[in-house]
């Protein structure tokens, strides 16, 4: 793929990673992109790089527009290696370039790539770098997605380059929101938010408010993954405000795994109880559904019911994996219910409740446990459990 013009003198020089399917545990069914931008004025600036296995492609894209020796500035918005691991290669070729990052970005660059990055110059919120007719303005954005993260705003072109924020793991021929399927795009933006940015919801709300208070006009949001929002940049900003505020529907996710079908039967009865209470339900079996998709469904749900059989005195391994993942993401404001089956000693439900409480989740009690195979009256209890959670959702 060749370079793409955002506005005259502002080019996308990134790469499309069509076949990545696992992004540190996040299943990326539609691949991803690593976006880098070249701004050509009296001075030439490169904003971010790409994952190192694509560095040759980045170099080819830059070379379509200029020689690397002519790059004056390299801006490192974020040090995570999907954006910075080409930097040691690029800086050897862009011999005349000064490098800019946040202070924590500089520290992280040295820790990743060595003392040669002692020469990085640091910027903070409000600092500007003149390129000629154009100006880069910096806005620190710690924890969106790492402590070092910052946004770069191209003042005269009204383009916000917020690195990970507002991104999507979405490989496509089109580089803009108006060139791709809008439903698929929003699905990937939602999945990205749920799996990467959920823990930082309060910071996102505050950062968007801060940008709004700065009164900066935004014609385009050009993130570091996926497509560039030019048709309607406010759509993704509005969606982030909704997601970070914890806006939820009258919806519950019933997520479970099963050994011999007992917890499966219980999960179906819990789901039926919720549905009879007027709640939209997603019933998801682990080992048939990625954790990635489960947490995406949880994003706009008010309740989650988790079911597990007991295996060797503990919760089922797939349930343990899910709870490890979701307690790390810490989605706020959900009601959590737990149920399960066992043969002799039990332990799955106790273990799940302990994990959930340790993470600060609101646990609905009592829980339900069934020995061996649920009888009709056990399934009635599961149905009632679903109805009770439905009432709590509606309260
Ligand atoms: Fe796309 Fe936090 O790296």
Q: Which of 17, 82, 177, 257 is catalytic?
A: 82
Report residue 2's pLDDT band, with 50, 70 and 90 as the boundaries.
confident
Provide the pLDDT confidence category of residue 247 given band limits of 50, 70 and 90.
Answer: very high
Tokens representing residue 39 in the block: 């701004």
Distance CA 382, CA 387 (A): 9
Distance CA 383, CA 254 (A): 12
The pLDDT tens digits for 83-130 are 999 999 999 999 999 999 999 999 999 999 999 999 999 999 999 999
Residue with tokens 């195979």, as numbered in its chain: 373
Known catalytic residue: 127? Answer: no
Neighbours of 374 (CB within 10 A): 22
Distance 6 CA to ligand 1 centre (A): 22
**Average pLDDT estimate for 323-350:** 97
Atom of ligand 1 nearest to the CA of 196: 2
For residue 108, the model assigns a pLDDT of: 98
Show the ligand 1 pocket: residues with CB < 6 angstroms.
Answer: 78, 80, 82-83, 145-146, 164, 224-225
Determine which residue's CA is closest to atom 1 belonging to ligand 1: 164
Token readout for 116 is: 């040669």
Would you say 256 and 267 are in contact if contact means Cβ atoms under 8 Å apart? yes
Q: Which of 34, 37, 153, 192 is catalytic?
A: 192
Q: Tell me if 141 sits within 8 A of 160, measured CB to CB.
A: no
- Look up tokens 């070379």; give the residue: 63
Rounded (10°) angle between helices 317-329 and 291-298: 50
Distance CA 201, CA 209 (A): 13
Find the mean pLDDT for residues 316-339. 98
Å from CA of 374 to ligand 1 middle: 45
Whole-prediction pTM value?
Answer: 0.96
Other beta carbons less than 10 A from residue 291's beta carbon: 21
Using alpha carbons, select from 159, 176, 138 the residue that is nearest to residue 219: 159
Give the three-class secondary structure for 325. helix
Q: How far is the CA of 146 from the centre of ligand 1 (A)?
A: 8
Distance 354 CA to ligand 1 centre (A): 31
Would the pLDDT of 225 be above 70?
yes
* Bond preceding residue 233 cis, omega within 30 of 0: no
Is residue 24 annotated as a catalytic residue, yes or no? yes
145 catalytically annotated: yes
Number of the ligand 1 atom closest to the C-alpha atom of 225: 1
């Amino acid at each position: 793929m060749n370079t793409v013009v955002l506005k005259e003198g502002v080019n996308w020089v990134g790469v499309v990673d069509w076949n990545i399917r696992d992004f540190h545990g996040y299943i990326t069914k539609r691949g991803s992109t690593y976006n880098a931008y070249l701004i050509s004025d009296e001075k030439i600036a490169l904003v971010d790089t790409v994952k190192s296995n694509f560095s040759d492609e980045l170099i080819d894209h830059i070379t379509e527009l200029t020689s690397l020796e002519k790059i004056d500035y390299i801006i490192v918005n974020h040090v995570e290696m999907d954006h910075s691991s080409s930097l040691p290669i690029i800086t050897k070729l862009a011999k005349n370039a000064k490098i800019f990052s946040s202070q924590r970005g500089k520290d992280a660059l040295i820790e990743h790539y060595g003392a040669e990055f002692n020469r990085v110059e640091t910027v903070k919120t409000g600092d500007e770098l003149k390129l000629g007719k154009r100006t880069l303005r910096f806005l620190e954005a710690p924890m969106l997605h790492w402590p070092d993260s910052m946004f770069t705003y191209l003042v005269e072109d009204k383009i916000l380059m917020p690195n990970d924020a507002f991104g999507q793991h979405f490989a496509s021929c089109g580089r803009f929101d108006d060139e791709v399927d809008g439903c698929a795009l929003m699905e990937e933006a939602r999945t990205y938010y749920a799996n990467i940015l959920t823990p930082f919801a309060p910071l996102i709300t505050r950062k968007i408010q801060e940008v709004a208070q700065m009164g900066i006009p935004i014609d385009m949001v050009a993130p570091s993954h996926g497509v560039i929002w030019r048709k309607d940049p406010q759509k993704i900003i509005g969606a982030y405000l909704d997601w970070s505020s914890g806006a939820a529907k009258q919806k519950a996710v019933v997520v479970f795994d099963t050994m011999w079908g007992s917890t499966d039967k219980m999960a179906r009865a819990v789901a039926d109880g919720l549905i009879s209470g007027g709640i939209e339900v997603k019933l998801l079996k682990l080992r048939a559904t990625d954790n990635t998709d489960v947490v995406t469904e949880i994003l706009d749900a008010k309740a989650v019911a988790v079911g597990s059989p007991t295996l060797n005195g503990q919760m089922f391994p797939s349930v343990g994996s899910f709870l490890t993942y979701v307690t790390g993401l810490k989605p706020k404001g959900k009601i959590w219910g737990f149920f399960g089956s066992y043969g002799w000693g039990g332990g799955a439900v106790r273990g799940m409740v302990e994990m959930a409480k340790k993470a600060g989740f609101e646990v609905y009690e009592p829980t339900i446990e069934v020995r061996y195979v649920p009888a009709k009256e056990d399934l009635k209890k599961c149905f009632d459990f679903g109805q009770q959670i439905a009432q709590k959702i509606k309260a």
